Amino acid sequence: MFLHQVHNSISGDVYNAYSYTAAEYAPHFHKSYELAYVAKGSAEYQIGSEQRHLGAGDFALVSPYALHSFVVDGESEMWVVVFANSYVKTFSKLLSDTVGETAFFTCEESTRHFFEEHMTMYHKGEVADIKSDEQLLMVKACLYAVCSEYIRTVKRIPKSKNSDVLVQILEYVSQNFQEDISLQSIARALGYNYQYLSKIFNRTMNINFKTLVNHYRFEYARQQLLNNPEKSISEIAFESGFQSIRSFNRIYREISGSTPNQSQRIP
């Protein structure tokens, strides 16, 4: 089971942050960066095939579209900040052609203290909205301080062509999931050999392509059900890209454990 966090992918100005204790997050991915910091205790964090036990003071930086998951016990606390590359444009540009050998790193004590002091605007576990230019500048300063440590301490290597191809696939799916798409149609649209594209996708994502598309459709349908109660379920199903009401109902239940009717009735 994995999740595409659409809310952390579709907006050009994504920023949210949370404090987690006694939490377990299933494998998921999104278009935005994710920065995790263990403030107290420890956490288990996995990014792609790399798994690490993080202690207090450790950081993890998740690149866009990387599959990741984590577990935090009830005695520990981990902060997670998800942000668009527009918050760290220079850093994002530096990583456009390279990738870190690891996603896990530590910072100097002064940087950690600066980050802790200015990124603690928590209210019920969530960082407060950015309400002023001063707050925005401070958030960017904190992110740049940590990202500069990443650049300083983590060896970078040239990004493989496979990474760029995967991003192209995911970008295409995010923009066209409402259509009847397949890896074959994406290969034609992007100008790649189908066997080559299929090998990259299967090796990197380790999931079935149809499953990926259905998750995009499910997330879109779920939001429509919650936000547009005047729409019929069949209208939402076909608008989301499902080919039949039967497949929509089956996939919706498989992913959420409830029916579309039940989701639509949630106030």
Residue after which a domain boundary falls, among 158, 176, 192? 158
Q: Taking 60 as the threshold, does the pLDDT of residue 191 lie above it?
A: yes
Number of domains the chain is built from: 2
- Are residues 136 and 42 both part of a single domain? yes
Look-up: residue for tokens 């870190």? 100
Q: Stretch 185-189: mean pLDDT, rounded?
A: 95
- Are residues 190 and 134 both part of a single domain? no
- Are residues 170 and 133 both part of a single domain? no
- Are residues 134 and 182 both part of a single domain? no
Residue 1 is predicted with a pLDDT of 45
Q: Stretch 185-195: mean pLDDT, rounded?
A: 94
- Are residues 153 and 181 both part of a single domain? no
* Domain enclosing residue 205, as ranges: 161-264
- Are residues 36 and 141 both part of a single domain? yes
- Are residues 84 and 196 both part of a single domain? no
Give the Cα-Cα-Cα angle 150, 11, 185 (nearest 5 degrees): 95
Among 15-24, 118-127, 187-196, 225-234, the range of highest mean pLDDT: 187-196
* pTM for the whole structure: 0.73
- Are residues 44 and 81 both part of a single domain? yes
Give the count of beta carbons closer than 10 Å to the beta carbon of residue 143.
20
pLDDT per position as a tens digit, 120-135? 665 445 555 677 888 8
- Are residues 67 and 136 both part of a single domain? yes
Q: Taking 90 as the threshold, does the pLDDT of residue 219 lie above it?
A: no
Residue after which a domain boundary falls, among 101, 127, 158? 158
- Are residues 63 and 194 both part of a single domain? no
- Are residues 62 and 179 both part of a single domain? no
- Are residues 106 and 148 both part of a single domain? yes
